Chains A and B, each alone.
Chain A
Amino acid sequence: MNRRIQKTFFLILLWATSLVNATTIQTIKIAYITQEQKVPAALSNLDAFIQQKGLIGAEIAIADNNTTGQFTGQKFNLQKIIVPVSADVVTVFKQLVMDDTFFVITNLPADLLIRLADLDSAKRKLFFDATTTDDELRNSHCRKNILHMLPSRAMRADALAQYMMKKRWKKWFLVTGMSNEDQAYARAIKRAAERFGMKIVTEKQWTHTYDARRTAQSDVPVFTQGVEYDVLVVADEQGLFGEYFQYRSWIPRPVIGTQGLVPTSWHRTHEQWGAVQVQNRFKELAGRWMEEQDYGAYLAVRSIGEASVRTESNQMQILKNYLLGDEFALQGYKGKPLSFRSWNGQLRQPVLLAAARSLVTVAPIEGFLHPKTELDTLGFDQAESTCMNGSKNTNLAPLAIQEDKQSEGENKLQKLKQQIINKLKQFGWK
């Protein structure tokens, strides 16, 4: 009897606590999923391979969100899932990511991300792609439940091209590596060259061996001989040969692209607009510099934080509408508010152009204008995007509203035009 009373009392207590929690604290559940990487080949041992790029960025942002959450009555949970090399990401995702976790941050390649986003259970989730730069994933392969945090290859190439245009270094010698990623980077470079009136005077593929003893001094001069150009553009995402070209080309020319002057969303030389604060905090926690992937994951978690604080909600659709709406403005240490492109879920952002030890400039470069925001001079603009026409994809939610606004504007313009014509007619114009 006594025990039963105790038990009942305990149950009441439990119920009461959960009630208090339910009314006072709102929980926002976020999953972070990535797969361990095999250590890839590298040109040198100068920069050690970092296994967990991304995760610490998410952790810092969760701490930031929770600091804010103590004032808003919100708690942000981060579930970290690191899938071993041998395991299947989709299986692990199905097993571990629960139905009430609406927000998933991924550090995964495009093909795996698409497989997750197409799962039935993923329909009620919103994915934050913290690491890819894939243009296809933002165009023909786009999914309405994925937002992209890092600038696409196209945005990067456009940033480079804008600066080259300012410098009038218009004749480009393009060197492309053998991998699919290198080819994709080269495609973005060619697109940017066409958009901004650059001329690719020569394009060559680097097929040589990657051994520094042979290639460095002897092969590069021969490889680059006999061409007149302003800059050497390298497309070598893995960093297998691009570094060879600086100071070794036949004629003295700067190197840009994946090496030399690189377009990136984050760099250790970046310390403007409060960036030094987050750089310091990151270094203290991680014992290394903040990488792009960390910045991507940081922005993803911060986006969720910002949206849930402003909407006072933890519901997927409410947050998604807010994130893709006009009001969303994320502070990303780049001096401009960051927001999402409604047509493909790409985060609008300035792109840094950085050399190894100095931040050269930040794109969009002054003078490149756009009717809506200058940030949209980088990458696929609404009219160029093939995301809306993607067979698998329907339009992202707020697009309809935008179209309405646009047509409303057009109506007003029509009315104004008619009024002017009427006025002119009054004065005898025919």
Chain B
Amino acid sequence: MKQSILGVGLFSFLVSLSMLSYSVQAETVFVTLEKDNALAVVDPIEGKLIKIVDIGLRPRGITLSPDNKYLYVATSDEDTVKIIDTETFAEVGQLPSGEDPETFALNPAGDRLYVSNEDDNLVTVIDVANKKVIAQVKVGVEPEGIVVSPDNRWVISATETTNMIHWIDTKTNTIVENTLVDPRPRAASFVSDNTQLWVTSEIAGTLMILDVNSKQIIKKIRLDIPGVSTDKIQPVGVVIDKERRWGYVAIGPANRVAVINAQTLEVEKFLLVGQRVWNLAFSPDQKRLYTTNGKSNDISIIDLESHKVTKSVGVGRFPWGIVSKP
């Protein structure tokens, strides 16, 4: 009897010790809050909101510099992209993003930032070090999704009304090819070996897999969910893990994340998260996935070993963009 109590005590001590060592392995998640004009700082391991930092009007797109020192945040109603120190949260500079910046992408080296200017049908190319615009690329109507390939060969701009994927050569900053895709393409993501581009269509409710060599669609996956009306199937954010085992698609008002086998390109399952899920981010070790849920004002934390939603953390009004720092 006594022994077993001792055993339990010892066990719980060990558990708390292991938890302690676990939380030492620090990680910070940053979430832009579109309606609160703020940035939420979250400890994803503890599953706790640490603090809220005022950041500027209508913050949306967010990216981390490769050295993890700076955050880039598009404050849309201030027509700028702010550079924020990840330790002090002080604003250390601004980038000339053009009007109403929403989404942008940083190249792997971290010296070029590509911004979608939705109202002007442009992609603005910014030299980060000099904080100068070095090129503007004319694209289709209402550019939104933007991504740079891991090998820095391509910048992809998805235009929502033209319904195209524009392939911009990073060397020349010119469009080399255009691929017509399903209506209202929202987001795009490369697989880590640069051979495929995954693109979501909000209106058709599809995930399209494009072959980077031919620039053609090689597969379309309809993200139908049993029991959910097709109008709610509005895919937005898409990410694929480095090993290309799984891809994940946020399905907006369907309140679910689709888990897709990245080898067979079949839907494995759907995970129920918060309301109007738009954007996704991996933890640095890719053991967890974080989602921003715009309507339920929280983020969901998904454990990627078990493919289970482990926690939701309330962050503030209209969480939009999300990024994780080791």
Bound complex: CA A71 to CA B164 (Å): 9
Interface residues of A in 52-93 (CB under 8 A from B): 64, 67-68, 70-72
A94 at the interface (CB under 8 A from B): no
A216 at the interface (CB under 8 A from B): no
Dominant SS at the B interface?
Answer: loop
List, in ascending order, chain B residues with CB within 8 A of A306's CB: 163
Nearest 10 CB-CB pairs, A to B?
A: A68-B162, A71-B178, A64-B141, A331-B183, A337-B203, A331-B184, A67-B141, A336-B231, A329-B183, A331-B203
Bound complex: CA A330 to CA B183 (Å): 7
Bound complex: CA A335 to CA B202 (Å): 8
B162 in contact with A277 (CB, 8 Å): no
Interface residues of A in 325-339 (CB under 8 A from B): 329-331, 335-337
Question: Interface residue count for B (Cβ, 8 Å)?
Answer: 25
B203 in contact with A336 (CB, 8 Å): yes
Name A369's closest neighbour in chain B (CB-CB): B229
Query: Which one, B138, B163, B166, B229, contacts A331 given CB within 8 A?
Result: B163
List, in ascending order, chain B residues with CB within 8 A of A330's CB: 183
A68 in contact with B140 (CB, 8 Å): yes
Interface residues of B in 190-247 (CB under 8 A from A): 203-204, 229, 231, 234
List, in ascending order, chain A residues with CB within 8 A of B178's CB: 71-72
Name A71's closest neighbour in chain B (CB-CB): B178
List, in ascending order, chain A residues with CB within 8 A of B160's CB: 274, 331
B86 at the interface (CB under 8 A from A): no
What residues make up the interface of A, taking CB atoms closer than 8 Å to B? 64, 67-68, 70-72, 274, 277, 280-281, 302, 306, 309-310, 329-331, 335-337, 366, 374
Bound complex: CA A71 to CA B119 (Å): 18
B203 in contact with A329 (CB, 8 Å): yes
A277 in contact with B142 (CB, 8 Å): yes
A71 in contact with B140 (CB, 8 Å): yes
Interface CB pairs A-B, < 8 A, 14: A64-B161, A64-B162, A68-B141, A71-B140, A72-B178, A277-B118, A302-B161, A329-B182, A329-B204, A331-B161, A335-B203, A335-B234, A336-B231, A337-B203
Bound complex: CA A274 to CA B116 (Å): 15
B271 at the interface (CB under 8 A from A): no
List, in ascending order, chain B residues with CB within 8 A of A366's CB: 229
Bound complex: CA A274 to CA B161 (Å): 10
Name A366's closest neighbour in chain B (CB-CB): B229
Least Cβ–Cβ distance between B224 and chain A, in angstroms = 14
Dominant SS at the A interface?
Answer: helix
B121 in contact with A71 (CB, 8 Å): no
Name B252's closest neighbour in chain A (CB-CB): A335
Least Cβ–Cβ distance between B286 and chain A, in angstroms = 31
Bound complex: CA A309 to CA B163 (Å): 10
List, in ascending order, chain B residues with CB within 8 A of A374's CB: 229, 231
B175 at the interface (CB under 8 A from A): yes
Bound complex: CA A117 to CA B65 (Å): 61
A67 in contact with B162 (CB, 8 Å): yes
Bound complex: CA A280 to CA B117 (Å): 13
A277 in contact with B231 (CB, 8 Å): no
Least Cβ–Cβ distance between A138 and chain B, in angstroms = 23
Instruction: Given A274-B184, A309-B180, decide whether A68 and B204 contact each other with a Cβ distance below 8 A.
Output: no
List, in ascending order, chain A residues with CB within 8 A of B142's CB: 274, 277
List, in ascending order, chain B residues with CB within 8 A of A70's CB: 138
Instruction: Given A310-B180, A330-B183, decide whether A71 and B118 contact each other with a Cβ distance below 8 A.
Output: no
Least Cβ–Cβ distance between A228 and chain B, in angstroms = 36
Bound complex: CA A370 to CA B238 (Å): 31
Bound complex: CA A335 to CA B180 (Å): 20
